[in-house]
Amino acid sequence: MTEEIKKKEEHNQIKKAQVEEKPRGEEKKDNGKPAPDTEKNKPSEGKPEKPETQESPDKSRQADKNPKQGVSEPKDESEDKKTGSEGKKPEPKGKDKKDEGSREKTLKSRGRVDRRRPRRSRSEQRREDHLESWIPKTRLGQLVASDQINSMHEALKYRHPIKEVEIVDKLLPELTEKVLDLGRVQRTTDSGRRMRFRVVAAVGNQNGFVGIGVAKGKDAGPTIRKAIKKAKLNIIEVKRGCGSWECVCKQKHSIPYAVHGKVGSVDVVLKPAPRGTGLVCGELSKQIISLAGIQDVWASTEGHTRSAINFAKAVNNSLYNTNEMRLPEGYRSNESEAEVSEADV
């Protein structure tokens, strides 16, 4: 043991001697940095101290070639703050309305016309593609495809009923679709209960044409499309006018006279209202009447109106009954009063 202790002491003495022989500038602190009083840190006598920031040699050469560009102009602090705080602003994804307006102005000033096609929705594109590949199977469809019948009024007066949805899509391209009711029905069988969807849908162009369809199916999506197709096939024309004695505006904002419709236990009566009254009726009947293009009406109902099918069909029946009575051309409208007097005589 004594020999090992002696060897350790000799080893330590050799280390101390080596440390003392090292120059003073190579000494370091505990943190690994050179001491502050080393010769390297001391400023050399007779030489001026260099500034902390020095230009790179590439920049100095550019400054020698272009002395005017080498001088950097001072920037405003306000701009530096803005750029520092905000940074680069994200570019807008779509075109602004201002850019479109300026483009239209420039085109008008140059005497040109903006020939860009308006954007179409997916449903409109599908409808157009379907009409292009449409091959009519009925006589009425052939007449519509050959442009011999150009209006829905003529198609409804034709002796054959509408059996193809493409006829309605071509004659009334601006139809709006609404789902009035979506419920579940079930049927008990030997294997158990079968659940199905029942959908009541309505379509209309808000200009005198409306239709209602009812469909059932296993899935909701296909059933809604099926109900909309049936509503297009069941479309009817609604006669409009200004039949209220309180209003003499002679515009087609209401119905020409009171009408009545009944399906099951639901009884609906619609009466003409003066302009500005609005649709004084329930929510479901309001959706159907607004699709027909009527703005003012009074309605009264009786029976079990909670059943959406009977209620919707009763409202549709009352609107269909506006065609019961034949009215002279120009009756309660903006046409000349001379024609009205001749028709009354």
Per this entry, what is the length of the chain?
A: 345
The answer to whether residues 248 and 162 belong to one domain is: no
Domain annotation covers residue 323: yes
Would you state the structure tokens that stand for residue 158, as one six-digit string? 């034709």
Q: What pLDDT, on a 0 to 100 scale, did the predictor assign at position 303?
A: 94
CA distance 11 to 5: 10
pLDDT in tens, 302-312: 999 999 999 99
Domain annotation covers residue 317: yes
pLDDT in tens, 124-150: 677 777 778 889 999 999 999 999 999
The answer to whether residues 246 and 327 belong to one domain is: yes
Domain annotation covers residue 215: no
Domain annotation covers residue 181: no
Percent of the chain having pLDDT more than 70? 65
Domain that holds residue 148: 124-173
Beta pairing partners, 206: none
pTM passes above 0.75: no
Domain annotation covers residue 326: yes
Backbone angles phi and psi of 13, in degrees to 5: -65, -40
Structural domains in the chain (count): 2
The answer to whether residues 166 and 250 belong to one domain is: no
114-126 average pLDDT score: 63
112-128 average pLDDT score: 64
Return the H-helix or E-strand segment holding 317. helix 308-320
CA distance 127 to 168: 11
The answer for residues whose C-beta is within 8 angstroms of residue 229's C-beta and 6 or more apart is 165, 213
Q: Which pLDDT band, with edges at 50, 70 and 90, does 342 fall under?
A: very low
Tell whether the model's pLDDT for residue 265 goes beyond 80. Answer: yes
The answer for residues whose C-beta is within 8 angstroms of residue 343's C-beta and 6 or more apart is 328, 329, 330, 331
The CATH number of residue 242's host domain is 3.30.230.10
Sheet of strand 236-237, all strands in order from the earlier edge strand to the far edge:
176-188, 193-204, 209-217, 236-237
Domain annotation covers residue 84: no
Closest by CA position to 284, among listed 179, 204, 208:
179
Domain annotation covers residue 276: yes
CA end-to-end span of the chain:
146
Q: What pLDDT, on a 0 to 100 scale, did the predictor assign at position 85?
A: 47
Closest by CA position to 324, among listed 248, 245, 264, 270:
270
Domain annotation covers residue 272: yes
253-279 average pLDDT score: 94
